[in-house]
Amino acid sequence: MGAGRLYAAVVAGGFRRYATYRAATAAGVFTNTVFGLILVYTYLALWAERPSLGGYDQAQAVTYVWVGQALLSTLAIGGGGAETELMERIRTGDIAIDLYRPADLQLWWLAADLGRALFQAVGRGVVPFAFGCVFFPVSLPGDVGTWLAFLVALGLAMVVGFGIRFLVALSAFWLLDGVGVTHLALLVGMFCSGMILPLNVFPGALGEVVRLLPWSALLQAPADVLLGEADPAGVFVFQAGWAVVLLAAGRLVQAAATRRVVVQGG
Amino acid sequence: MAEGGAGTGARAAGERGAAAPAGEAFPAGGGDGRVRAGLRTYGLIAGMWIRSTMAYRASFVMTVGASFAVTGLDFVAIWLMFSRVDALGGWSLPEIAFLYGLCGVSFGLADLAIGSMERLGRRVRDGTLDTLLVRPAPVLAQLAADRFALRRVGRVAQGGLVLGYALAALDVGWTPLKVLLMPVTVVSGAAIFAAVFVAGAAFQFVAQDASEVQNAFTYGGATLLQYPPVVFGQEMVRGVTFVLPLAFVNWVPASYVLDRPYPLDLPGWTAFAAPPVAAGCCALAGLAWRAGLRSYRSTGS
């Protein structure tokens, strides 16, 4: 079996695994829609006070909300991706099994997480987004090219998201209990990805800094491509750059971490 | 206390039988003992989980800090908004902080006390709920204290801090009635959210995998109440006033304290309606819980 086919099978497995829980998916769709509704009204009030805040008009701000709700679980910005399971396997020692599989640890989990993300995008993302487009004034691109660019940016965002969460998960090799790190990752992720407020609304230097961090590749970057607020090529370079840096860092940490593993004889 | 515990256990087990008479759960003389047993169970289990959490002390400190900060993120969002505008829907930052603080403390207290109940769906799915059913202690108390997360004090503290800021920054014309209304509002609000948690848990007997729906009403409700009612659509405000009466957690009492128009032009006395509303919610949630528990059938294996 070629390596490509192996990882493709893992992607498909990750997709099918999440697709199994239909009731949970429906519940997630409902919850994302409710949160979207709440956020949309607060954004409408904000943009009513300051039209064209952050360079968005009201319709763009509304679109941003629904893109955010569609991508929250897809990119696991609030946690709940492959890293949760990976951390548990490190804590329990099951990671030893993963390490003697004839597959690369990082690529294996990247593939599994991509499968999950692809399902979440289709299963949990599309419906809240469509709901928002039907019931609120949104700003969507008319040309296919922008939509394709959005999908490319989304794919890159998935890789960057995994890169961040893989590093978070590997910290369990040293800390064992990953609850604290998971919380911190959630906190930074929500703030710096633009999930709580678009990054272009952040004031002054703070806004400049958060837009350079890897988290801005998650939500802000694809959203700006979709809204026609950013040059797709520049966004792709930014996202791909962070993806490479994060995956390389993951490799280094993984090498250091696996030297620590001691498999107890049984 | 041992006898009382055993007696409660018999009743708790009896609750599962469809034939159990409706009045049995509130026997004339035993109701008080039942509540006491429940509270004692709750205290014992919660204490155990606190000790267990302390085994990973560094992680505990991080999670309290993170709980404080994650909750605070909502307020950071509001604060960032106010770095660009002076008012939201005509409400100033201290006024919104007042709403936020009241809601934050109420929700934080409910979440601390019984937030763990949202794990019920998982217990139904993996069959571990059965273990709780055979123990001689009220199931509700056992579930509420299950995995008691002391880190959630971070949420209460954060809400309290914002409320403190609001009270310092606002120029409220305090009257004895307004002062009295504050603690009443916080306790009633916590009771309303607690009822939502219990009703959500009861729903999970039916929904199981769909437990996330509950988040829309608990966390979603708490988020909604951080903003003034004028921001939202009329239908939405009506829904959270008359269907799921979250408006009584802070919107209505805060309108009285801040001398603002009431949402939906409610009459003035509704500012004091929170305690009966909370009592009604708790009673309904209790009924839902009993119905849910009765309908439970173990997976068997």
pLDDT of B165-200, one tens digit each? 999 999 998 999 999 999 999 999 999 999 999 999
Q: Binning pLDDT at 50, 70 and 90, where does residue B11 land?
A: very low
Q: Which range, A19-28, B129-138, B177-186, has the best average confidence (pLDDT)?
A: B177-186
A55 touches chain B (CB under 8 A): no
Question: Are A196 and A187 within 8 A, CB to CB?
Answer: no
- Give chain A positions within 8 Å (CB) of B63: 179-180, 183
In the predicted model, is pLDDT for residue B30 greater than 70? no
How far off is chain B from A54, nearest CA to CA, in Å?
A: 9
Is B81 in contact with A201 (Cβ distance < 8 A)?
A: yes
What is the reported pLDDT for A36?
Answer: 95
The answer to whether A265 faces chain B, any CB pair under 8 Å, is: no
pLDDT band at A182 (very low <50, low <70, confident <90, very high): confident
Question: Could you report the per-residue pLDDT of B50-90, keeping only the tens digit for each?
Answer: 999 888 888 788 778 878 888 888 899 999 999 999 999 99
How far away is chain B from the Cα of A30, in angstroms, using its nearest Cα?
A: 7
In a domain, A96, yes or no: yes
Res B85: pLDDT:
92
CA distance A48 to chain B (A): 9
Q: Which residue of A has its CA nearest to B91?
A: A45
- Test mutation, B83, B100, B212, chain A, max A CBs within 10 A: B212
Spatial separation of the C-alpha atoms in residues A78 and A91, rounded to whole Å: 21
Q: In the predicted model, is pLDDT for residue B34 greater than 50?
A: yes
pLDDT at B8 exceeding the cut of 70: no
The structural domains of chain B, with segments of one domain joined by +, span: 30-295
In a domain, A264, yes or no: no
Q: What φ, ψ does residue A81 adopt, rounded to 5°?
A: -90, -155
Query: Which three-class secondary structure string do you get for A58-85?
Result: HHHHHHHHHHHHHHHCCCCCCCCCHHHH
**pTM for this prediction:** 0.87
Q: Do A181 and B85 touch (CB under 8 A)?
A: no
Residues of chain A contacting residue B83, judged by C-beta atoms under 8 Å apart: 203
B56, B70, B209 ranked by CB distance to A186: nearest: B70
Which of B66, B89, B208 is closest, CB to CB, to A23?
Answer: B208
Of B77, B210, B215, the CB nearest to A26: B210
Mean pLDDT score across all residues of chain B: 86
Q: Which of A77, A197, A199 to mutate to test the interface with B (most CBs of B within 10 A)?
A: A197
B5 contacts B19 by C-beta, under 8 angstroms: no
pLDDT for res B82 = 94
Interchain contact, B233 vs A30, CB within 8 Å: no
pLDDT at B270: 93
Shortest Cα distance, chain A CAs vs residue B154, angstroms: 13
Q: Using alpha carbons, select from A134, A123, A220, A69 the residue that is nearest to residue B215.
A: A69
**A242-A245-A251 Cα angle (round to 5):** 135
Contact A159, A243 (CB under 8 A): yes
Residues of B in contact with A135 (CB under 8 A): none
Residue pLDDT, tens place only, A93-135: 888 888 888 889 999 999 999 999 999 999 999 999 999 999 9
- Could you say which residues from 214 to 243 on chain A have a Cβ atom under 8 Å away from some Cβ of chain B? none
pLDDT at B301: 53
Say if the Cβ atoms of B76 and A50 lie within 8 Å. no
Torsion of CA A53, A121, B75, A180, to 10 degrees: -140
Tell me which residue of A15, A111, A124, A119 sits closest to A70, measured CA to CA.
A124
Select from A46, A58, A135 the residue whose CB has the most chain B CBs within 10 Å, as the one to mutate to test that interface. A46
State the distance between the two ends of chain B, measured CA to CA, in whole angstroms: 33
Choose, out of A30, A174, A183, the residue to mutate when testing the contact with B (most B CBs < 10 Å): A183
| Chain A contact set for B88 (CB, 8 A) | 42, 45-46, 49
With a cut of 70, say whether residue A46 has pLDDT above it: yes
Residue A206 reports pLDDT greater than 60: yes
pLDDT of residue A101: 86
- Cβ distance B227 to A42 less than 8 Å, yes or no, reads yes
Structural domain total, chain A: 1
Distance from chain centroid for Cα B182 = 17
What pLDDT score was predicted for residue B298?
Answer: 81
Residues A135-180 have pLDDT tens digits of 999 999 999 999 999 999 999 999 999 999 999 999 988 887 777 7
Predicted confidence at residue A145, as pLDDT, reads 95
Q: Which DSSP letter does residue A51 get?
A: T
Decide: A60 and A229 in contact? Cβ < 8 Å: yes
A7: in domain:
yes
For residue B7, what pLDDT is reported? 38
Range of the domain at A224: 3-258
> In the prediction, which pLDDT does A1 show?
60
Tokens 């490509």, residue?
A: A4
Residue B13: pLDDT band with limits 50, 70, 90: very low
Q: Tell me whether A21 touches chain B (CB under 8 Å).
A: yes
Which residues from B are below 8 Å from A84, CB to CB?
A: none
Residue A9 sits at the vertex; the CA angle it makes with A6 and A13, to the nearest 5 degrees, is 140
Q: Name the phi and psi angles at A90, rounded to 5.
A: -70, -40
Phi, psi of B154 (to 5 degrees): -55, -40
CA distance A242 to chain B (A): 25
Q: Is position A139 within any domain? A: yes
pLDDT tops 50 at residue B14: no
Token pair for residue B15? 């609750």
Angle at alpha carbon of residue B91, lines to B88 and B93, rounded to 5°: 85
Report which of residues A67 and B62 the model is more confident about: A67
- C-alpha span between B55 and A81 (Å, rounded): 26
For residue B26, pLDDT beyond 90: no
Per-residue pLDDT at B211 exceeds 90: no
Q: What is the ipTM of this complex?
A: 0.85
Is residue B123 within 8 A of residue B204, CB to CB? The reply is: no
Confidence bin at A264 (pLDDT 50/70/90): low
Residue B106 pLDDT: 97
What average pLDDT score do residues A21-44 get?
Answer: 93
Contact call for A41 and B231, based on CB within 8 A: yes
pLDDT of residue B238: 95
Structure tokens at A60: 């763009």
Buried b (16+ CB within 10 A) or exposed e, B66-101: bbbbbbbbbbebbebbbeeeeebbebebbbbbbbbb
Q: DSSP labels for A82-151?
A: HHHHHHHHHHHTTHHHHHTSSS-HHHHHHHHHHHHHHHHIIIIIHHHHHHHHHHS-----SSHHHHHHHH
Closest CA to B25 of B6, B12, B9, B36: B12
In a domain, A265, yes or no: no
**pLDDT digit string (tens) for A208-260?**
999 999 999 999 999 999 999 999 999 999 999 999 999 999 999 999 988 87
The DSSP-derived string for chain B is -HHHHHHHHHHHHHTTSTTS-GGGGS-TTTHHHHHHHHHHHHHHHHHHHHHHHGGGHHHHHHHHHHHHHHHHHHHHHHHHHHTT-S-BTTB-HHHHHHHHHHHHHHHHHHHHHHGGGGGHHHHHHHTTHHHHHHSSS-HHHHHHHTT--GGGHHHHHHHHHHHHHHHHH------HHHHHHHHHHHHHHHHHHHHHHHHHHHHHHHHGGGGGHHHHHTHHHHHHTTS-GGGS-HHHHHIIIIIS-GGGTTHHHHHHHTT-PPGGG--GGGGG-HHHHHHHHHHHHHHHHHHHHHH------
Closest alpha carbon within chain B to A191: B73
Residue B94 has pLDDT above 70, yes or no: yes
Q: Which residue has the higher pLDDT, B136 or B16?
A: B136
* Predicted local distance difference test score (pLDDT) of residue B32: 77
- Report, as an integer, the average pLDDT of A6-15: 94
